[in-house]
């Protein structure tokens, strides 16, 4: 029996582990499937004399479930693996930081516009009257979409 292991990106709950497990379960010859949420890993064993399971097949099956699989070869040094994961983590952290700053830049004006009438804050005169109510609601909707979509 040969053991293979993959790093899985995108898992964040136990339901995700079940999806990953079911995505590779139908491949003939795979036994002892283990998906670890904390380590973001998929491991399984198979008989290499009976079945030849290619990394591309596993990556394609996991991708069809909505996750990203990266083959981990035993010849790779663990430092190199850790360094790759660290780079991915730093890249993700940078993207999330940008999203947070952009969301805050929409949230502050939204709070000002939404709370201006209650707190007696100065507001543009175009938001007064019947047509102003439409502009007022439209501006809040646009700002709220900016907060949500960032």
| Residue tagged 């292991």 (tokens) | 5
Query: Which domains, from first to last, does the chain contain?
Result: 2-74 (3.30.70.100), 80-149 (no CATH)
Question: Do 59 and 71 meet the contact criterion of CB atoms below 8 Å apart?
Answer: yes
Q: Exposure string (b/e) for 91-105, b if CB count within 10 Å is 16 or more?
A: eeeeeeeeeeeeeee
Q: With a cut of 70, which residues of the chain have pLDDT below it?
A: 73-83
State the pLDDT at residue 131: 83
State the pLDDT at residue 136: 87
Does the predicted TM-score (pTM) go above 0.75? no
How many angstroms separate the CA atoms of 32 and 45, rounded? 6
How many angstroms separate the CA atoms of 38 and 19, rounded? 15
Question: CB neighbours of 4 closer than 8 A, spacing ≥ 6?
Answer: 43, 44, 45, 46, 53, 55, 58, 71
User: pLDDT tens-digit profile of 109-148?
Assistant: 999 888 887 888 787 777 777 888 888 889 999 999 999 8
State the pLDDT at residue 76: 54
State the pLDDT at residue 69: 85
State the pLDDT at residue 142: 92
């Amino acid at each position: 029996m040969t053991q293979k292991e993959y790093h899985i990106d995108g898992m964040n709950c136990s339901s995700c582990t079940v999806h990953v497990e079911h995505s590779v379960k139908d491949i003939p010859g795979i036994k002892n499937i283990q998906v670890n949420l904390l380590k973001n890993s998929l491991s399984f064993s198979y008989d290499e004399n009976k079945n030849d399971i290619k990394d591309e097949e596993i990556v394609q099956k996991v991708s069809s479930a909505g996750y990203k699989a990266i083959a981990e070869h035993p010849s790779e040094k663990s430092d190199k693996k850790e360094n790759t994961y660290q780079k991915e983590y730093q890249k993700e952290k940078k993207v999330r930081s940008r999203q947070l700053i952009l969301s805050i830049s929409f949230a502050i004006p939204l709070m000002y516009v939404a709370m201006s009438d209650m707190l007696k804050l100065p507001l543009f005169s175009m938001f007064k009257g019947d047509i102003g109510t439409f502009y007022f609601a439209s501006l809040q909707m646009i700002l709220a979409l900016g907060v949500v979509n960032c």
